[in-house]
Amino acid sequence: MDDVVNNNSQRMDMIRRSSFPEDFVFGTASSAYQYEGDVFKDGKGPSTWDAYTHQHPERIADHSNGDIAVDEYHRYKEDVALMKSIGFGVYRFSIARTRILPLGKLSGGVNKDGIEYYHNLIDELLANGIKPYVTLFHWDVPEALEIEYGGFLNRQIVEHFQEFAELCFKEFGKKVKHWITLNEQFIFTFKSYVIGEYAVGRGAEWDKSHFLGGNSGTEPYTVGHNLILAHAAAVNVYQTKYQEDQKGEIGITLESTWYVPYSDSEADKKARDRAFDFSLGWFLNPIVYGDYPQSMRDLVGRRLPTFTKDETTFIMNSFDFLGINYYTANYAKDNPSDIHPAQSYLNDIHATLSTDCDGISIGPKVSSSSWLAVYPHGLKELLIYIKEKYNDPVIYITENGYLDYDSPNVDELLRDERRVKYFHDHLYYLYEAIEAGVKVRGYFAWSLLDNFEWANGYSMRFGLTYVDFKNDLTRTQKDSAKWFLNFLTT
């Protein structure tokens, strides 16, 4: 047994860039609201996150916002140089819709300053040998459309998202060869319309002291349905009008935790299956097989929208690749009882999800309260699960990263040994997944810089680079950035 452990340890120690295929890409990921700043200047319109953080600062851990963020809007050349110095060859970023369409739709006018900014960023990347991977929606819904008709609660959003996507294809498609329609629809839907933690803070109608309106038994499913249709609409216009000439590819990024049954009981194994169905499967099953998982149909019933025959054809196979964001693993335990007093997604799933089993975490955590338990083996298991269940798609790991909580001890944050181990171990199991036949084409670390982490504000740091938010946003590479430089050159 000791020989097996030692051999495995030796193999893990040998993981390096040369272990991966020559055309495999490595880079970092970001999003517009978390990075850009400059939110009310140069013609940009407000997003739901602008409105949410200003109207409800108490809902952000440190009462902060993304008004300045890490100021990539002005410092993009500095950040591109940083990427290049580490050795990254790709960069995933999102386009802030209201930076180029201030009111969220073409009839509201196009902001030329916003168009120019993204051209400049893309050109700077290409000039430095870094390929852009562009996400069209990373949670920043135009506030004008939220006010006008409720954003993704309304079917009108599908048409307006399609016209925004087409504008991006027209403007940037000759330079951008990799498009991602949406980022983590499950997290967006769950956090914004079930537990009310993210903009727009909606959830259970019975608790008006916590939620800003909503109905967690119906709204998440409506929003999820419109997200799927919006994705398919963007893919359709790209594949039918632009792909042949521009010779790019388009996909979608989904988030998934790896789920482990709480016990060996059949009930807990079925709870594990439901956990997948009500998160990853909710958004992946329709675009592979044309409908929601059967467990969702059975448990949600008439509250779950249906696809017409034409829509089923429209959404199926609407991707050239999948982006997968993976951070952690959870135990899934059967819970047949309703835990809320009215219809809710939280009741529908009939499962309790947790990092802990009998008080023991599934993996190491930076603190006992952290949601991120380190479980690198889960990445391999998840990729094999997707390969086997969803027709062996081409996959990019579009996010994977480790958090530290902010601390006055800057030296400790810079000497981020646990982040180094996190990346190393996940890359090892990614390598094993490729060896097992999973068609993984790239890996994006979250994230190049410490940034605005949604409801956690700046209290949580994911960066390879330390950002001094009290001293002109000075960037200082952490040990993890130096580790990646060594990894990428061996």
What residues are labeled active site?
184, 399
Token pair, residue 60, equals 């952000």
CA distance 484 to 63: 33
In 3D space, the residue among 166, 175, 72, 179 whose CA is nearest the CA of residue 133 turns out to be 179
CA distance 75 to 70: 8
**Rounded to the nearest 10 degrees, what angle do helices 185-193 and 280-289 cross at?**
130
CA distance 319 to 239: 9
Look at the chain and count its residues: 490
Torsion over CA: 457, 416, 324, 174 (sign): positive
Nearest 5 degrees, angle CA 122-CA 137-CA 272? 125
Q: Which DSSP letter does residue 129 get?
A: T
CA distance 206 to 341: 8
* 21 exposure class (CB count in 10 Å sphere: 0-12, 13-18, 19+): exposed
* Cβ pair 261, 272 in contact under 8 A: yes
- The H-or-E segment that residue 476 falls in is strand 474-477
Backbone angles phi, psi at 219, to 5 degrees: -60, -40
CA distance 300 to 263: 25
